[in-house]
Structure 1
Amino acid sequence: MTQHTQDRPRIVVGVDGSPCSRAALRWSLAQAALTGAQVEAVAAWQYPEVYGYSYGWVPSMSDGGVYAKAAESALLDTVATVRAEQPQSPEVTSRVVEGHPLPVLMDAARSARLLVLGSRGHGTFAGALLGSVSQHCVQHAPCPVVVVPQP
């Protein structure tokens, strides 16, 4: 990373491949173009819940490759789709991290100027509510948080 890149403010955006995360990435790119910031798209993945069998045998977990590749694919597809819509937009760095989205995003936001998340609204009244990750980030993130509603 060059000194010039390190000195630029950083916008972190949570991306999971959903329509609301695409809206958050669009907003982040527009903000970065206005402020000269760099954009880092972050996707989190974790192992699914596994329950043991009655005889004490628990199937072994894979190395996580399938889950990590699925998260990476969703992230790269989302970035490519949004950048194709906005060809003049700033470059986006992408990062896939193992873990629950909440600690992953909170860690990524430590040195960021702004954290951008999509809202997981479900229509009318429920659409005005934030999801648990967005709500926690709004209250506890080490930088300002923007929650972009689903278009």
Structure 2
Amino acid sequence: MSGRIVVGVDGSAPSLKALKWAARQAALTGDSLHAVISWEYPASWATVMPGVPAGFDPEELAKQILDESLAKALAPEVAATVTRTVAAGNPVQTLVDQSEGAELLVVGDRGHSGFKAAFLGSVSTNVAQHAPCPVVVVRGKVAEQ
């Protein structure tokens, strides 16, 4: 019986690299691939994003980012088999929750944040400490896209 590999996606180049790595690993092991993106409103929503249009839907934007990431990183026949989850909430907690019972959790070393100089991003550091399964943090230089 095969298991499940969960991969965190946020549209950043490191997350696309993690997605590619996770897809190759799933192909090797026969595990299913489960791509997860989460979103949350910033504490100062109105001041961080002035001019946000009426009717803006952050969940729909997250879904679009996930779909575009899968299309960019994977062959269409592979992307079609990926289970997709869009969740409201803290990215760390979402990934920890989604990885319950998984064989593996895969994340990039940095995502979309203002701390580009950090060795590991806060999400990758925290999921490595708290996930209920083994964690792979995909590191390395990524060509800018």
Task: Please say whether Structure 1 and Structure 2 have the same fold, judged by a TM-score greater than 0.5.
Answer: yes
Answer whether contact 1:11 1:38 (CA < 8 A) is retained: yes
Counterparts in 2 of 1:66 and 1:36: CA distance versus 1, 3 Å: same
Give the equivalent residue in structure 1 for 2:85.
95
Q: Return the match for 1:14 from 8, 17, 23.
A: 8
Equivalent residues in 2 for 1:119-130 (5 A)? 119-120=109-110, 126=117, 129-130=119-120
Displacement, 1:117? Answer: 0.1
Give the equivalent residue in structure 1 for 2:23.
29
TM-score by length of structure 2 reads: 0.80
Give the equivalent residue in structure 2 for 1:142.
132
Give the equivalent residue in structure 1 for 2:59.
68
CA distance in 2, matches of 1:118, 1:96: 18
Give the equivalent residue in structure 2 for 1:82.
73
Percent sequence identity is 45
Decide which structure has greater helix share.
Answer: 1
TM-score by length of structure 1 reads: 0.77
Aligned length: 130
CA distance in 2, matches of 1:14, 1:88: 17
Q: CA RMSD in A?
A: 2.6
Unaligned 5+ runs, structure 1 = 1-6, 53-61
CA distance in 2, matches of 1:35, 1:138: 21
